[in-house]
Amino acid sequence: MSRRHRRREAFTLIEVLLVLVILVILGSLVGIQIRRAQKKGLVNAAKSQVSMFKTPLDMYQLDLGQYPSSSSGLDALRRAPGDVQDTKWAGPYLEKDAPLDPWGRKYHYANPGKHNTDGYDLWSSGPDGADGTDDDVGNWQ
Total residues found in the chain within this entry: 141
C-alpha pair distances (Å), 34 with each of 25, 38, 123:
14, 6, 25
Burial (CB < 10 A; 0-12, 13-18, 19+), residue 127, is middle
Q: To the nearest whole percent, how much of the chain has pLDDT over 70?
A: 91
Q: Given pLDDT bands bounded at 50, 70 and 90, which one contains residue 120?
A: very high
- d(CA 91, CA 36) in angstroms, rounded, equals 39
C-alpha pair distances (Å), 57 with each of 29, 38, 39, 46, 96:
43, 29, 28, 17, 14
Q: How far out from the chain centre does Cα 134 lie?
A: 14
Lowest mean per-residue pLDDT among 21-35, 42-56, 58-72, 96-110: 21-35
pTM of the model: 0.70
